[in-house]
Copies of this chain bind each other. A is one copy, B any other.
Amino acid sequence: MAASLTSRTLARPAFESAFEPPAFLAAMLAFEAALAAGEAAEGVIPPSSAAAIAQACKAVSFDVEALVAEAKRQGTLVVPFVKALRAATGAISRDAAEHVHHGSTTQDVLDTAMALCLKPCLDEADRSLEAAVRALARRAREHRATPMAGRTLMQPAVPITAGLKLARWATALAQDRERLADAAATGLAVQFGGAVGALEVLGAKGPAVRHRIALALGLADVPEWQSHRNNWIDLLDRLALVVVTACKIARDLALLGQAEVGEMREAPPQEGVGGSSAMPHKRNPVGCLHAIAAATRMPGLIATVHAGAAQLEHERALGGWQAELVAVPEIAGALGSSLDFLDTVASSLVIDAERMRANLAACGPAPASTDAVDELLGNLAPYLT
């Protein structure tokens, strides 16, 4: 889908642009250049062809509207893309033109480009997550003994400390971060299989070329995954778990920030943030809004990629795979909204210990122990340096 105006108002700019035409075309070109270089290094095509292709990858420009129209007609973006790149290469060297995209196919380019475009998003997620964990761990240590009401099933239970709640949030995000890095190590991989995944044009040199492409692009080197995509889906699932945790925190903050509760807010009230077109005095929790909206969308998006991956006919799918071409940027977008929220929390979280004490009356006078929070803070030590 095109960028609807309303969806843009929920997007993190860097994550928006990560899959827009300039970035995506650059990623496709990066694949083609790495492919040519790898094939030249393995003696599959002449070095001069690789050089010409590399030069063409820098020089070529695309009429995006025409490209999109032709891609739709063909059912693949790669046919008109390769045609344009081949023309640009031919302008440099007639011989090199026939070596463009040699031995490769649509899904090689698109899957690899998708991984390349997701990569900076994951790097940014890693940084945001680390910052959020550090900030929350520090606040947890600071409030390790601040009593507040524990609440279960939306009713007062027994007291906890604010530090315990904060340390749990930090722990959950730290685990999400680790899981994501773990999945990215194999899930962020080059896709290279040729027409039916057998790299039949390259014969025995296929794996070596693939290895070179992976190295050049900073992606994992694994056998083609065009019809068995679970390494990739696993990465998306784990990305979705970040969105889950962000939403849980946002839900807690929205509840704690109610006028009648007043124990925490995502940020201090600020002119020009969270206003209302009907009630200018309002200060809505905008970060929570982004995190909750993102998490409302994510289960459906994850369902989509699981459903698509389950119906990949034979050596390349008709429709099941292509659904990802829409869903993956959306998944990254939902992650972006969650990071926006986490960034706000990391920098601006407001904790009102007085209101916590006042509300505590509702669930009894008992002071809370700090054993549980201390256990979590111990685990979070690397983030508390």
Contact = CB atoms under 8 A, between A and B. Distances in A.
A45 to B, nearest CB: 16
Interface in A314-337: 314-320, 322-323, 325-330, 332-333
Contacts of A299: 299-300, 302-304, 306-307, 310
B275 A76 contact: yes
Interface stretch (A87-95, A123-131, A290-298, A345-353): A290-298
Q: How many copies does the complex hold?
A: 4
A258 interface: yes
Contact of A260 (B78, B227, B260, B332): B260
Given A241-B233, A251-B313, A275-B79, A292 B304 contact: no
A303 B5 CA distance: 22
Nearest to A74: B275
A40 interface: no
Interface-central residue, A203, A244, A314, A327, by most chain B CB under 10 Å: A314
B244 A309 contact: yes
Contacts of A160: 196-198, 200, 315
12 contacts: A5-B20, A6-B114, A6-B325, A8-B68, A73-B286, A75-B275, A76-B277, A152-B316, A194-B278, A203-B369, A206-B372, A230-B241
B313 A252 contact: yes
A272 B176 contact: no
A375 interface: yes
Interface string A248-277: 101110110111110000000000111111
A73 B152 CA distance: 18
A284 B227 CA distance: 17
Interface in A131-147: none
Q: Which 5 A-B pairs have the closest CB atoms?
A: A292-B319, A300-B300, A150-B196, A75-B286, A4-B329
A54 interface: no
Interface in A10-41: 10-11, 13, 16-17, 19-21, 24-25
A312 interface: yes
